[in-house]
Amino acid sequence: MEFFNDTRHVARKPHKCEACGRTIEAGELYRRQSGKWEGDFFTRAWCCDCEAIMEYYFEHIAVESEFDYWEVQDEIADRFCHACPHGGNGDDDCEEKAVWHCQRVLNAIREVGGGGAGNTAV
Ligand SMILES: [Zn+2]
């Protein structure tokens, strides 16, 4: 990584969360990362929920800094969606694979100490 910026901002205009695809509204706290990786400039925004999941992923699962969101989703579902009523009987797949905003997943992640500071803007 040639350079890397990792900050938390209050959105001044709407942004799209790169992980879940939802719109981060103006005034919402979000995570912004930008940098240069193998010659390519990138910038990305995550909403609060996805930030918690991505931090958990990098802390506990990721083996390298490259990732794709499907893989993150799969790994998280593998770890947290067992016995989740959304997935039916012991099926570890969320119907919609909606792990990004699943409160059970987020609670589990916050319990193990991953994730950011949540929604509290200072
Ligand atoms: Zn999101």
The pTM score is 0.77
Q: From the CA of 32, how far away is ligand 1's center (Å)?
A: 12
Question: Do 112 and 56 meet the contact criterion of CB atoms below 8 Å apart?
Answer: yes
Other Cβ atoms less than 10 A from the Cβ of 78: the count is 13
Q: From the CA of 46, how far away is ligand 1's center (Å)?
A: 5
Q: From the CA of 39, how far away is ligand 1's center (Å)?
A: 26
Q: How many CA atoms lie within 13 A of 48 on its CB side?
A: 15
Q: Which two tokens stand for residue 62?
A: 């990721």
Q: From the CA of 37, how far away is ligand 1's center (Å)?
A: 22
pLDDT band at 112 (very low <50, low <70, confident <90, very high): confident
pLDDT band at 119 (very low <50, low <70, confident <90, very high): very low
pLDDT tens digits, one per residue of 6-64: 999 999 999 999 999 999 999 999 999 999 988 999 999 999 999 999 999 999 999 88
Structure confidence at residue 98 (pLDDT) = 77
Q: From the CA of 117, how far away is ligand 1's center (Å)?
A: 15
pLDDT band at 94 (very low <50, low <70, confident <90, very high): low
Q: Which domains does the chain have, with CATH numbers?
A: 3-111 (3.30.1740)
CA-CA distance, 106 to 84, in Å (whole number)? 13
